[in-house]
Structure 1
Amino acid sequence: MLEISKNWLTNRLENTTDALALATERDLTSHVFHCRRGKVVELADGSEAVEFVSCSYLGLEVHPQLLHSAKEAIDRAGVHFASARTRMRLDDLEELESILDRIYGLRSVTAFTSVGNVHLGVLPLLAADALPSYPMAEAGPVFLVDRTAHASIQVLRGIFEQIGPVSRFDAHDTAGLGALLDEAVDAGRTPIVLVDGIGSMGGLIDVVELNALTAAAGGYLYVDDAHGISIAGPQGGGYAHEAFGTDLPDSVILVGSLSKAFGGAGGFGVLRDRADTKVLRKFGNPLIFGGPIALPMVSANLASARLHLNGAVVPLQDRLWQNTELFDQHTYGRLVNAGERSPVRGAAFAAEADALAAAERLRKAGILVTPAFYPTVARGTGLVRFAVSALHTDEQIARAAEALGDLD
């Protein structure tokens, strides 16, 4: 009899509780807002609250130069151009990618509409031995996916399995990864190791150590640093880029977001050479058959890239780290990521009900956060996430810490 193994989505559906639905019913998440001033949002019912939800960690989405560029693009070209970039594109996109090339050490950068589409465009071509700078073994690749890697990577496991074997590992268990890499070498396969740079709910991944292990096995480290872009480096290259000393190893493929601290919209992939980019732009499915980044956001992205290139992001980074340090002081260093150069802080709870109660206390105090449950965190547990920004005031941070209260 034919047996079909349970797919990952079925497993997720069967093991997910109603905690998130309860959070929505209690108005603890899925908020609707009308307008905002800094980190204060006016909700649809007319009330106001301070949000720690948006992952735009530097506040660039309200920077005057981004606003001006977006408005100017509308006047010049309209709000949208319904064509794949391979057929026609705004000139601002060319300059955006050129500046990103410079920020990432004259590597070759391609912008996409989202980070998820970067994965969908790059990874099948990488695994198919189509990118000239990243040769595969004759037996093909093996995919090693960190268990905490973003859902936009996890969802592609079905595609990966059409090309090669897939295993999951813990990025903090280097011995476990080493064993999987040894198996790949013994099987004559090229390992592709997929990790986040900064976890959306967790801490920093030691990308330098993981790359050393991966490169020694003849493989490639694919880093989704969506939450790390812009927050580190004199030109905002990001956490992973700075961890490598700003010179990306040849074994690393870096993916970043334009939609978080960068302040715009979309994602991008950093490849080693223009020959790789030529293949990507010719065969990358989302680039050929998908629509473009909205024109105002292309121009806003360009304005942000210019701010990155001239170092204008550094004072915003400084303010961000002042705010995370202040938050750590008010919460006595007890939150997830306390003391780390991550903009994410989390109050972890052993039970979902306790996380819901904490989110409710915060909501009543006019503080909006992100309550998270399985599969974002371990089954049966809960986490209340604070996305700290350079725009938060000292008073707002103190209010949030006071409303959170005792974690015991």
Structure 2
Amino acid sequence: MRYETFFRDQLAALKAEGNYRTFAELERISGRFPRAFHHGIGREVTVWCSNDYLGMGQHPAVVAAMRDAVEKHGAGAGGTRNISGTSPQHVALERELAALHGKEAGLLFTSGYMSNWATIGTLAARMPGCIVLSDAANHASMIEGMRHSRAPKHVFRHNDAADLDRVLGELPADAPKIVAFESVYSMDGDIAPLSDLCDVAEKHDAMTYLDEVHGVGLYGPTGAGVSERDGVQHRLTVIEGTLAKGYGTVGGYIAGSAALCDYIRSFASGFIFSSALPPAVAAAALASVRHLRESQEERRLHQRQVATLRRRLDEEGLPHLRNPSHIVPVIVGDPIRCRGISERLLDRHGVYVQPINYPTVPRGTERLRFTATPLHSDEDIEHLVSALSETWSEFSLARAA
């Protein structure tokens, strides 16, 4: 086989269909987010697609905590948690996350992807006869964990508690079951009916596994997510979250009972064989979680700017998906046009937003996914909407009524 020819042909096909992805070399400037220097075009741009939803990656308390920890403890953790990588910073962060979610324990991972993959994969694989019930729109990391477990999987219609009830009712009553779903779905921005899903799971004696990665920091009185806002944290077996979005750092975690977290710690290969997060990262994340447990200002401003962006898009007739979350998807529906609009916004207007194409979203639903933050000013929003409106017309795209 001509391996290099195969690789080049596959890449050429990806480019031809408009789904080839490129990296933007962005230099984030601490204290100036959402501004960043774009090395590809050689000038400063405004970032409109960051998952640092609250700008906590540059918060003075977070930066200071990381700087102090680096100076005291160095750059790395020194190994896996089991060997030499556990520090007081890791222990304190796990305790804080457990308290945040009203659980007995927490467990840190190097990423949200790994926490989903390792936890779901371990639970489903090691409980004899376990069956997984998966929402149709679940994240790739959850699906990979299910696939890795080789446990039987049944998919229920997206955010449809009645369909979940139907599927569970067809399964053996005595089989262990895990119902896995998210709170905020990151591409359409819709929010799960958590209480209804818990009702159905409890009716059928199933565990509940909630991915809160796009909710933590952003919702609830202390930032514990949609499950806190909706008053259902205590009904969830496992709450999984990330430190890389609302909290502005990096890493993933689960929160649950002490026995469950210890079980994953003891049996999940993705945890056992991964080097620990650097203590400086854990210290920065701890500062971010603690700040957002007390402060409402970031969440208040965040929701205000999201609402302002939606209102201005409506006024310009720019079509965006209606949803109750902070994610604002503007549907283009064509991969070539989607990339073209993204490139023109960048080159002409200094607006940076990446196109979202297949396989992240289904073909025909290609989009620009905007994430307003508390640090985007009203002037930033006006500039974005003006630039997008001009570009929309140049590409002869239909406007909303």
Q: Same fold (TM over 0.5)?
A: yes
Equivalent position amino acid for 1:56 in 2: D
Equivalent-residue separation in structure 2 for 1:278 and 1:167 (angstroms): 27
After superposition, what is the alpha-carbon deviation per residue over 1:17-46, rounded to whole angstroms, capped at 9, x for unaligned?
73232x63xxxxx21023422211111142
> Is the aligned partner of 1:322 residue 2:304?
yes
- Tell me, yes or no, if structure 1 residue 356 matches structure 2 residue 339: yes
The match for 1:40 among 19, 35, 40 is: 35
**Of 318-327 and 261-270, the range deviating more from structure 2:** 261-270
Query: 2:137 aligned with 1:141, yes or no?
Result: no
Deviation at 1:337, TM superposition (A): 4.8
Q: 1:82 aligns with which of 78, 83, 86?
A: 78
AA at the equivalent of 1:362: L
Q: Quote the residue 1:237 is aligned against.
A: 224
1:107–1:308 distance in 2 versus 1, CA, 3 Å: farther
1:286 CA drift (Å) = 2.4
Residues 318-375 of structure 1: per-residue CA shift (max 9 Å, x gap): 00001001001100186545462x2211011233233234323422321111211122
The DSSP-based 3-state class of the residue aligned with 1:192 is strand
Kindly report which structure 2 residues correspond to 1:5-404, keeping only aligned pairs within 5 A, or say none: 18-21=17-20, 24=22, 30-36=23-29, 37-44=32-39, 45-88=41-84, 89-128=86-125, 140-161=129-150, 164-185=151-172, 188-202=174-188, 203-243=190-230, 245=231, 247-249=233-235, 251-271=236-256, 273-309=257-293, 311-312=294-295, 314-332=296-314, 335-338=319-322, 340=324, 342-363=325-346, 364-404=348-388
For 2:312, the aligned partner's letter is H
Query: Secondary structure of 1:53's match?
Result: coil
Cα pair 2:26 2:36 within 8 Å, conserved? yes
Cα shift at 1:120 = 2.9
Aligned AA for 2:49?
A: V
8 A contact 2:330–2:368 mirrored in 1: yes
- Per the TM alignment, residue 247 of structure 1 is displaced from its structure 2 partner at its CA by 3.8
For the Cα contact (< 8 Å) 2:195–2:232, is it kept in 1? no
Letter matched to residue 34 of structure 2: K
What TM-score comes out, normalization by structure 2 length? 0.86
Name the SS of the counterpart of 2:259 in structure 1. helix
Higher relative contact order (CA 8 A, sep 6+): 1
CA distance in 1, matches of 2:273, 2:196: 37
**Native 8 Å contact 1:335 1:345 kept in 2:** no
Can you give the 5+ residue segments of structure 2 that lack an aligned partner in the other structure?
1-12
Q: CA deviation at 1:157?
A: 3.7
Instruction: Determine the C-alpha separation between the residues in 2 that align with 1:350 and 1:95.
Output: 46
Please give the per-residue CA displacement for 1:292-334, whole angstroms capped at 9, x wherever unaligned.
112221110111122133x12x100000001001001100186
Match of 2:5 in 1: none
Q: 1:335 to 1:55 in 2, by over 3 A?
A: farther
CA distance in 2, matches of 1:104, 1:127: 23
SS at structure 2 position matched to 1:50: strand
Q: Which runs of 5+ in 1 are unaligned?
A: 1-13, 25-29, 130-135
CA contact (8 A) 1:56 1:263 kept: yes
